[in-house]
Amino acid sequence: MIAGNPFPEADYDRWYIWQMLVTRDIEAFLSQDWAMVADDFINGQFTGIDGCHSDNPDDWKFKFPDVEPYKVEWLKQAESFNKTEWAEDPEAALYRVTELLDIEINNNAALVHKKFRGNMARADGQKTTFNWQSLYYCREVNGIWKITGFTGYIPLVEDSAKFSSSAGKQVPENSSQH
């Protein structure tokens, strides 16, 4: 079963952003058809940061100074994805591993949290794991939401309450930050 838009059409801005970043993106990706999403970007104002699947911002790369290099990478990934033989319906699986529930709108700008979580079964018995998030920056232009940039491929960090207190660095007792 393919997930539907969690935002009601009455909440048009969030509904539209979800349609753009989930439905249209998945359909275009599976079709390897950039033309389906080309108008979703603001050319000349787009910037994209590749988090390189690292939680350390020092490792992140400014790979996409405008839309064109992002288009090239997106098409490369779409082609690779579509060459893979999947043991399940790839469209349904992409909807299953994609989560977009957090859209913060401030006037005519939006910060959108898109998360990828889960596995897709390949025909060879292996699995492809999705475990990252992308932050999209959007702006409403003439009543239509557009993408102005993103910071993507950031490791997905689960709720910190799920981690044990022994994980990570320990702070010495009575220490403080100056």
pLDDT, tens digit (0-9, with 9 covering 90-100), for 61-109: 999 999 999 999 999 999 999 999 999 999 999 999 999 999 999 999 9
What pLDDT, on a 0 to 100 scale, did the predictor assign at position 3?
74
Tell me the percentage of the chain whose pLDDT exceeds 90: 84
Domains and CATH numbers, the chain: 12-157 (3.10.450.50)
pTM over 0.75, yes/no:
yes
**Do 115 and 130 meet the contact criterion of CB atoms below 8 Å apart?**
no
Structure-block tokens of residue 111: 């910060």
- Catalogue the E-assigned strands of the chain: 47-50, 61-64, 98-106, 109-121, 127-141, 144-155
168 by DSSP, 3-state: which?
coil
Judged against a pLDDT cut of 50, whether residue 170 lies above it is answered with no
Residues 49 and 55: their CA atoms lie apart, in Å, by 13
What pLDDT, on a 0 to 100 scale, did the predictor assign at position 159?
54
Provide the mean pLDDT of the chain: 90
Taking residues 47-59, report their average pLDDT. Answer: 97
Judged against a pLDDT cut of 50, whether residue 115 lies above it is answered with yes
Confidence of residue 40 (pLDDT cuts 50, 70, 90): very high
What pLDDT, on a 0 to 100 scale, did the predictor assign at position 165?
41
